[in-house]
Amino acid sequence: MTNKIGSTINSTITLIPLLDDQLVDMVFITNFTRMTDKWFYKLISENKFPAPIKLGRSSRWRRSEVEQWMNSRILESRGI
């Protein structure tokens, strides 16, 4: 496990420099996936979806983490 920019942590999460990433909200996630926010909060509570970054009363996610999660679901569904 390292903290170098662009490195991999726990062989599943690749860090992308913050300036090259985007913080997205639950509206983006639900529009992107066509799943409900309720479903995502259930996944978060089960540690099956990235935890939010709390900014005051707002919750945001790194777009790269959401995309990595979605890509891993696609690969998993295809048995890859």
pLDDT in tens, 50-73: 999 999 999 999 999 999 999 999
Cβ neighbours, 10 Å, residue 61: 22
DSSP-assigned letter for residue 48? S
Q: Under DSSP, is residue 24 helix (H, G, I), strand (E, B) or coil?
A: strand
* 63 Cβ neighbours under 8 A, 6+ residues apart: 21, 22, 23, 24, 28
Q: Whole-model pTM? A: 0.75
pLDDT digits (tens, 9 = 90+) for 13-30: 666 777 789 999 999 999
Q: How far apart are CA 7 and CA 13, in angstroms?
A: 8
For the record, the structure tokens of 37 come out as 């926010």
CA dihedral 68, 69, 75, 78 (to 10 degrees): -150
